Amino acid sequence: MARTSPLARRGPGRTRGLGHGLGRSRGDRRWGEQPLGSGQRPPTSLVVALVMACASLMVLDTQAGDSSPVEPVRRAVGEVVGPAESAVAAAVRPVSVVPQWFRSQASLRADVGALESENAALRSEVRTAGYDRNRLAELEALTSSARDLGHALVPARVVGFGPSQSFTGTVTIDAGSSSGIGPDMTVVNDDGLVGRVLRVTSTTATVLLVVDSGSTVGARVGESMEMGFLRGRGEAGEGGDLDLELVDAAETPAKDDTVVTWGSRNDAPYAAGIPIGRVTAVYESLRESTKRVVVEPFVDVGSLDVVGVVVPSGTVSDRGLVEADGSLR
Q: Quote the CA–CA distance of 329 and 320 in Å, as a whole number.
A: 6
Q: Quote the CA–CA distance of 283 and 305 in Å, as a whole number.
A: 34
Q: Given this model, what pLDDT does residue 289 score?
A: 66
Distances (CA, A) of 145 to 95, 252, 312: 74, 30, 15
For 256-265, the pLDDT digits (tens) are 999 999 988 8
Q: Given this model, what pLDDT does residue 276 score?
A: 96
Q: Given this model, what pLDDT does residue 143 score?
A: 85
Q: Quote the CA–CA distance of 38 and 28 in Å, as a whole number.
A: 16
Q: Given this model, what pLDDT does residue 167 score?
A: 63
Those residues with Cβ within 8 angstroms of residue 19's Cβ, 6 or more apart along the chain or in another chain? none
Q: Given this model, what pLDDT does residue 197 score?
A: 96
Domain extents for the chain?
69-329
Q: Given this model, what pLDDT does residue 224 score?
A: 84
Q: Quote the CA–CA distance of 277 and 297 in Å, as a whole number.
A: 4
Spans of the chain below 70 pLDDT:
1-40, 60-61, 63-68, 70, 96-97, 128-136, 164-167, 237-239, 286, 288-289
Q: Quote the CA–CA distance of 220 and 276 in Å, as a whole number.
A: 10
Q: Given this model, what pLDDT does residue 108 score?
A: 78
pTM of the model: 0.60
